[in-house]
Amino acid sequence: MPLDTAISEAKVWAWLDKVPDPEIPVISVVDLGVVRGVEVEGGAVTVTLTPTYSGCPAMAVISLDVETALAREGVTSVTIKTRIAPPWTTDWMSDAGRAKLEAYGIAPPQAAGGPERCPHCQSTDVEKISQFGSTPCKAQWRCRDCLEPFDYFKCI
């Protein structure tokens, strides 16, 4: 254990920023916007999470990953709370998260309801294949220039 053992909210946020999303590991759970609050009382930490989609199967894994990450930092008392209001929206995703998504090949969410450009070749000539994709939060699109299919993070 390091000498500076006092746990602060800022430290917890920094630790959580290193916890990857289990289905899109290039962004952290903080980038994704599912961490709604951190409370520290003495040595006890309470983390409040919100689901992206109500049936998102990654939520159980995210809770477990958060607990594990905090335990690794020496936090012995972790409580995970779930809150659905106000409901998660893609607006809560950080700018850093959006940039990381695109670099990974997933077009980040846009208010217009479709991707701005192909994450592979940056062409704006894109078309929808399906409204749904490999996870509840994504849709399938295709680039008409490079012809590559790609995931689009749905905007809700």
Partner 1 sequence: MTHLFEFLLRQGDNALVLGHRTSEWCGTAPALEEDIALANTALDLIGQTQLWLDYAAEVEGAGRSANDLAFLRDAYDFRNALMLEVPNEDFGRALMRQFLFDAAQVPWLDALQGSSDSRVAEIAAKSVKEARYHLERSADTVIALGDGTEESNRRMGAALTYLWPYAGEMFADDATDRAMREADVAPLPSEIRPAWQSKVEETLGFACLTWPVSDFAHSGGRSGARHTEHLGHMLASMQVLQRSYPGARW
11 or 92: CB nearest partner 1: 92
Q: In whole angstroms, what is the distance from residue 39 CA to residue 16 CA?
A: 13
| Sheet-wide strand order for 149-153 | 106-107, 149-153, 138-143, 126-130
Of 30-38, 41-49, 101-109, 128-136, the segment contacting partner 1 by CB under 8 A is 128-136
**Binding residue (CB under 8 A) for partner 1 from 14, 39, 41, 57:** 57
Is position 51 an interface residue for partner 1 (rule: CB under 8 A)?
yes
Q: Are 15 and 73 in contact (CB under 8 A)?
A: yes
Q: Are 40 and 12 in contact (CB under 8 A)?
A: yes
The distance of closest approach from Cβ of residue 84 to partner 1 in the complex, given in angstroms and rounded to an integer, is: 5
- Sites of contact with partner 1 (CB under 8 A): 51, 53-57, 84-87, 89, 129-134, 136, 140, 154, 156
